[in-house]
Amino acid sequence: WLDTRHAPDTLPMVADGRPVGALVLEHPGKAPGVERRVMGVVAQAAGMAALNLRNSVLLRRVQDLAERDALTGVANRRSFQESLERVVAASADLRDTVAAVLFIDIDDFKIINDTLGHAAGDDLLVSITERIGGLVREGDIVARLGGDEFAVLTEDLPDLRRARSMAE
C-alpha cells in the first residue's frame, strides 16, 4: 500500500560501512515521539538485514570458491569427485544411460610455463577450458583436476557414441 500524501522515510542498509540496500518505510500520520522510537527499531532491523544479506553473499562466495577452480571457473577436483559419486550412485537404478568420464592431460604443459611464463600458461588453461566447455552440453560437468589435467563427466547411451565423439 502506498500513500502518496506522505513522504516515505528511507533507511540505508549498511554492512561494514558499505551500502547494500535501502528500506523504505511508508507511514500515515505523525506522532513525533512514537515515530522516532519506531524509526530507531526499524533502523536496527535494517542494519541486521544488511548484515544478514552481506553474510549470505559471503557464504555463497566461499561455497563457490570451495567448489570451483579459481583460474578457470569450472568445477575443481573435490566438486568433480562429489558429482561422480552422485552419478554413480544414481546410475545403479538406471539402465538406459551410463556415465562417461573423459580425462584430458595436456602433454608437455610445463614447457609453456618454463618458456613463456605462468601468465601465458594460465591463458592457455583458460582457453582450453573454454574449448572443452564448447563441446559439452548443459548438465555435463567440466572440471580442472589440477595443473594441466581436466575431466568431463557426462551421461550417455550405453553405446557411448556421444562420449566417443566428444573425446575425438
| DSSP labels, 68-108 | B-TTT-SB-HHHHHHHHHHHHHHHTT-SS-EEEEEEEE-TT
pLDDT in the model for residue 110: 92
pLDDT in the model for residue 2: 40
CA distance 158 to 97: 6
pLDDT in the model for residue 5: 47
pTM of the predicted model over 0.85: no
CA distance 10 to 132: 49
- Positions marked active-site: 148
Closest CA to 75 of 24, 149, 163: 149
Residue ranges of the chain with per-residue pLDDT less than 70: 1-9, 25-35, 92, 94-95
pLDDT in the model for residue 27: 63
